[in-house]
Structure formats: structure tokens, C-alpha cells
């Protein structure tokens, strides 16, 4: 159910447009060790250096560097999201020059098309799930990545893909559970999760993971002295190229 590829194989081919198509038969594409440990550690150090710019989401249960859309959607503050994006993206790019671009290049190499930041939306951003925090103790929400996908795109199931780059995995747990089911109009609550086959993607440092955004998934509980830190980018095919956001 998971398509596993080594970072070496991925990087030596650089551009693998067929992978996205192969992915239709899998619940996740897991490319191991794409970014070296030292680079991930350097990014993480810069994330902590910029703690003053983190956003506290869901009353401090989790944090983001870069504006994430879905907490604003859930809080009914999407206007604030769009107001904050320009400044927040600037802070992100000052702290981590080239990272958004690199993430978009990784995404582009898998979808086999041009990837652009959605006009007015945040570029790829970072999630910080605190050690011993809510997600660590209880797991994340079971969800499809539908937030930010328009009603018409959702109904048409326009191609949509989510990419995660793991920058600081927890010591134990914290993988991504993926169920072998795609969105078909029913919410996660309406599904009999126990009856659907699932598997867990166990992240290593520097791993890249791609899922179809309509695939049901959930961050698993974790134990660690360190926070769980990953970069996420969502994308949708607009008929010509791929629009991405966080």
C-alpha cells in the first residue's frame, strides 16, 4: 500500500513524473532520506530561532511557522489568514531562504508539472507539534485534506496532493496513518474506520511523503523529548499547473 523509494534513487533521477501516476495504486509515496540530517537540523535550529513568529493554533495545542489555512477556517477567521499571509511569508523566507522554493520543486518533480504558490495564499509552511502535547498524547485529527479546496474542485475530485517533509521526527511513534479510502462525500466521523484497511508511514529525518489529499489520514501519538516538526504543502491541479498553499 505504500510505495517506498530511496532518496538516492529519487535524487539521481531528479524528475519522475510517472511517480504521481503510479501513486494511484498506493495510499502513500514515501521517499526516504531526501534531505540530509545536517540540513534538517539546520532548518530546525532556524525554526526555533524564529519562535517569536510562530502562530499558536487551536489555543496552543500546536504551532505553525507560516500561516496555516485550516485553523483559520475552523475558527472562522479566514479573513485574518489572508491579511497575515504576506507578512508571514516574508518572515518565513527571511528565516529559511529557499525552503519554500525547494519544497515546490520536490512537489513539481512528483506531479510532473509546474507548481506555483496560490495567489494570496501561504506558501509551504511548518508544523510544530509539541513534545508531550495534545497530538503526542492523543493523536491528531482523522481527516481528509479538503480545506482550501473549492466546492467545485471537491465535487469533481480535481487532482490534489499533499506533501510532507519530515524535519524532526519524534523518537517513538508520530507516523502518518493512511486509510485505504478516498473522500466520497462522507466525513471521517461517518466512516467505520476499523473496517477500512490502513497502514502507518513511519517517518525518518529528511523523508518526503506524498498522499492524495482525498486520502483519509491521521498523525499518530508519539513519545519524544523533542517536538515533532514537519513541513507541509497542499496542492491542486488547476487544469494547467498546480496551485499550492499551506
Q: In this structure, what C-alpha cell is assigned to residue 173?
A: 511513534
- The end-to-end CA distance of the chain, in Å, is 26
Is 18 within 8 Å of 109 (Cβ atoms)?
no
- Bridge partners of 209, per DSSP, are 30, 164
For cell 485534506, the residue is: 145
* Shortest Å distance, C-beta 129 to ligand AKG: 8
Contacts of 205 by beta carbon, 8 Å cutoff, 6+ apart? 33, 35, 37, 40, 166, 167, 168, 169
Residue number with CB closer to ligand AKG (67 or 230): 230
Residue number with CB closer to ligand AKG (18 or 56): 56
When CB distances are held under 5 to 8 angstroms depending on the partner's kind, the choice from Fe ion, ligand AKG, none that residue 89 binds is none
Q: By CB under 5 A, what part of segment 141-160 binds Fe ion?
A: 145
Contacts of 198 by beta carbon, 8 Å cutoff, 6+ apart? 177, 178, 179, 180
Q: In this structure, what C-alpha cell is assigned to residue 244?
A: 499550492
* Shortest Å distance, C-beta 91 to ligand AKG: 20
Q: Which spans of this chain sit near ligand AKG (rule: CB under 6 A)?
A: 127, 145, 162, 164, 176, 217, 219, 230, 232
Q: How many residues does the chain have?
A: 246
* Shortest Å distance, C-beta 106 to Fe ion: 17
Residue number with CB closer to ligand AKG (18 or 132): 132
* Shortest Å distance, C-beta 240 to Fe ion: 25
Separation CA 213–CA 154 (nearest Å): 10
* Shortest Å distance, C-beta 98 to ligand AKG: 21
When CB distances are held under 5 to 8 angstroms depending on the partner's kind, the choice from ligand AKG, Fe ion, none that residue 230 binds is ligand AKG
Binding site for Fe ion (CB under 5 A): 145
Amino acid at each position: 500500500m505504500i510505495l517506498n523509494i530511496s532518496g538516492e534513487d529519487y535524487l539521481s533521477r531528479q524528475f519522475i513524473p510517472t511517480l504521481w501516476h503510479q501513486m494511484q495504486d498506493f495510499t502513500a509515496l514515501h521517499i526516504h532520506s531526501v534531505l540530509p540530517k545536517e540540513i534538517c537540523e539546520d532548518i530546525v535550529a532556524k525554526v526555533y530561532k524564529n519562535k517569536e513568529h510562530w502562530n499558536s493554533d487551536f489555543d496552543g495545542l500546536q504551532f505553525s511557522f507560516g500561516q496555516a489555512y485550516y485553523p483559520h477556517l475552523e475558527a472562522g477567521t479566514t479573513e485574518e489568514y489572508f491579511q497575515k499571509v504576506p507578512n508571514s511569508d516574508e518572515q518565513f523566507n527571511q528565516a529559511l531562504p529557499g525552503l519554500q522554493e525547494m519544497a515546490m520543486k520536490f512537489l513539481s518533480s512528483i506531479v510532473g508539472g509546474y507548481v506555483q504558490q496560490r495567489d494570496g495564499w501561504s506558501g509551504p509552511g511548518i508544523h510544530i507539534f509539541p513534545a508531550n502535547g495534545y497530538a503526542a498524547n492523543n493523536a491528531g485529527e482523522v481527516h481528509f485534506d479538503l480545506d482550501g479546496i473549492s466546492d467545485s474542485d471537491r465535487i469533481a475530485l480535481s487532482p490534489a496532493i499533499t506533501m510532507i517533509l519530515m524535519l524532526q521526527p519524534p523518537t517513538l511513534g508520530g507516523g502518518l496513518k493512511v486509510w485505504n479510502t478516498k473522500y466520497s462525500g462522507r466525513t471521517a466521523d461517518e466512516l467505520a474506520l476499523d473496517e477500512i484497511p490502513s497502514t502507518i508511514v513511519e517517518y525518518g529525518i529528511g523523508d518526503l511523503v506524498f498522499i492524495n489529499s482525498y486520502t483519509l489520514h491521521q498523525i499518530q501519538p508519539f513519545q519524544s523529548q523533542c517536538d515533532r516538526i514537519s513541513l507541509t504543502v497542499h496542492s491542486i491541479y488547476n487544469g494547467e499547473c498546480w496551485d499550492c498553499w499551506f
